[in-house]
Amino acid sequence: MTVLRVVESGSVASGAVEEAVDAGAMENARKTLEEVKAEGVPAVLRLAAKFGELGEGEAAVVEAGALKAAYDSLSAPERECLDRTAARIRVFAEAQRKSLGDVTTPIPGGEAGHRVAAVKVAGCYAPGGRYPLPSSVLMTAVTARAAGVETVVVASPKPSQITLAAAHVAGATVFLAIGGAHAIAALATGVFPKIPRCDVICGPGNKWVTAAKAVCSVSAGVGIDMLAGPSEVLVIADETADPSVVAADLLAQAEHDVVARPILVAFSASRNAAAIVDSVNAELEKQLDVLPTKAVAEPAVRAGFAVACASVDEAVRVADAVAPEHLEVVCENAQAVADRCDHYGGLFVGAKAAEVLGDYGIGPNHTLPTNATSRYTGGLAVFHFLRIRTWMRIDDLKAAKPAVQDAVTLARLEAAAVLGCCMRMLKEQLGGDTCSAVTVATIPKLERAPRMTPHGNWRRWRAAALTASSWELERRVNHRNLVDLFSKDIVPEVLADELHGLEVIGRDDLRLDNALDKSVPHLVAVTFERRGNAAAAPGLGVHNFVKGGIAPGGGPYHFRQQKLERALGDNPLWRGDWRRGGGGGGHIL
């Protein structure tokens, strides 16, 4: 007996999802992409031959003229069906496109906005395993064209005439008669002369195709629509639902694949939800016996499940926990119940809105998120082929001044924590008993500073260094090294007490004396003051800096060599010694 197994509602939890991509398929996809990158077309053709996708003398690339010939070879009713279906999909997609436009808004001192532009090349995949799927060709390629994509490439293995004809109707530029991971790799790399590298690849597929999309999105730099898994349908039903209709809708998804998931969530005002499940299961058995695709649908039904809920609230909770690809609401006050549901790919409201209408082109796209990913994304739409590019222009600097001041303040706030950490480390590691003031400011070009700037009984000298990247900063802080003070372009003024010394670590490949006359990003000037005797501190100046090290002259102002050595210990950044006195060219690094 093949029926939906009954589970408790409490066992259906949010986030209970399977791995989106099979590990073995991922490894195969990586290997395939590497082969295609290394060998090009021969690798794709070799894999196509391995899987029997191309017969003797058959071309891998089908051009627009051949697509038109396939369309012309169909009967009039078949051509008209494709035309009408494409038109309905196009109307919906164009309505989506109109919902998003360019924006311009005032900002202090100027204007900002965004521009919406389609990608240049889209790859649209349609499965071709058990059955031809011209509907998937229409859903993907028509949508790409409605978005404004200039070049649309359709790929599908062993295409029938109806598949090629659908590509023509959809406005495909060219057709790749190959499938699987190697087809995705070919779309992502543009190895065929007549098929440019795709910016976005979309469309459903088996685990090999899904894995290839995942790999190519990372290793080939292409966008993808989603990582689609096995098809799903969840039907919320009460006593008013016709069990035969509910069963038929469940089987319509079950026959897609042996791993498809049909799910029934029944609720009853009279607390008789179990009886609803029993009646639907009875219909499933009857219809399966005469279903031509029983061999595929029966395993899927066994893998599905049913939940008998005590209330509509419980039914909605279960549906949201599953977050199904297709959600049907077949009950009294169906719209009100549907409005309470939050997570689904496509919603079908009422007994007349059969899910099969969505599959076969009534308007909305049938390429929908599976495996609970509808919690954060939606189905294929023109938006997957669009780029939102922001811009700004400043015309009046005076009017922009408040925003500039806020930017400086925020930069100070963000950098203060980093500087404070560095100051504490310096104090702890180097010790000292002299009160110091430290000022750090961004400079667009490093300039030589005066060697001595008298100010009462204070003496000031200036150090300059390249800041390291933020990851270097974090790494060095974690290892308690003497580190760069900042990874920001704008840094704050900070007062730090009891500094005995200060080191700024620069990039090893740049010497400061070579950078003085160049405009180098991330150059900062570090100025600090120390109370002391001017006569005891000769020769302090930027010429004493090598690779970011501070090498002050003799007297009480120099770092204590022993303390510094103890602080640095085995630090690999320690490379030098102290040379004291008279403005010598000493160095730390």
Of the given ranges (53-62, 173-182, 208-217, 497-506), which has the lowest mean pLDDT? 497-506
With beta carbons less than 8 A apart as the criterion, state whether 450 and 542 touch.
no
Residue 405 pLDDT: 85
Residue 430 pLDDT: 39
Residue 388: CB atoms within 10 A of its CB come to 12
CA distance 564 to 166: 75
Both tokens assigned to 216: 């190519």
With beta carbons less than 8 A apart as the criterion, state whether 175 and 164 touch.
yes
Tens digit of each residue's pLDDT (9 = 90 or more) over 267-311: 998 879 999 999 999 999 999 999 999 999 999 999 999 999 999
CA distance 537 to 529: 13
What length is written for the chain? 589
CA distance 186 to 182: 6
Whether residue 447 has pLDDT greater than 90: no
Residue 426: CB atoms within 10 A of its CB come to 23
Tens digit of each residue's pLDDT (9 = 90 or more) over 84-120: 999 999 999 999 999 999 999 999 999 999 999 999 9
**From 168, 256, 326, 366, the catalytic residue:** 326
**From 53, 283, 298, 325, the catalytic residue:** 325
Residue 407 pLDDT: 83
Q: Which residues contact 570 (CB under 8 A, 6 or more apart)?
A: none
With beta carbons less than 8 A apart as the criterion, state whether 299 and 269 touch.
no
Residue 99 pLDDT: 96
Query: What does the longest C-alpha to C-alpha distance in the chain come to?
Result: 105
| Average pLDDT, integer, range 419-433 | 44
Sheet holding 261-267, edge to edge: 5-7, 305-309, 261-267, 232-237, 326-330, 346-349
Quickly state the pLDDT bin for 16 (edges 50, 70, 90): low
Q: Which residues pair with 465 in a beta bridge?
A: 524
Query: Which one is predicted more confidently, 463 or 323?
Result: 323
With beta carbons less than 8 A apart as the criterion, state whether 226 and 214 touch.
no
With beta carbons less than 8 A apart as the criterion, state whether 225 and 384 touch.
yes
The one-letter code for the residue type at 446 is L
Quickly state the pLDDT bin for 462 (edges 50, 70, 90): very low
Looking at the chain, the whole-number percentage of residues with pLDDT higher than 90 is: 61
Query: Which one is predicted more confidently, 107 or 462?
Result: 107
Q: Which residues contact 107 (CB under 8 A, 6 or more apart)?
A: 392, 394, 400, 403
Residue 516 pLDDT: 31
Residue 55 pLDDT: 83
The one-letter code for the residue type at 192 is F
How far is CA 135 from its chain centroid?
28
- Residue 522 annotated in active site: no
| Average pLDDT, integer, range 71-83 | 98
Whether residue 424 has pLDDT greater than 60: no
DSSP letter at 455 equals B
The one-letter code for the residue type at 120 is K
Burial 561-573 (b: 16+ CB within 10 A, else e): eeebeebbeeeeb
Quickly state the pLDDT bin for 411 (edges 50, 70, 90): confident
Whether residue 168 has pLDDT greater than 50: yes
3-state secondary structure of 333: coil
Whether residue 478 has pLDDT greater than 70: no
Sheet holding 103-107, edge to edge: 103-107, 110-118, 386-394
Residue 131 pLDDT: 79
3-state secondary structure of 461: strand
Residue 493 pLDDT: 31
- Residue 343 annotated in active site: no
Quickly state the pLDDT bin for 404 (edges 50, 70, 90): confident
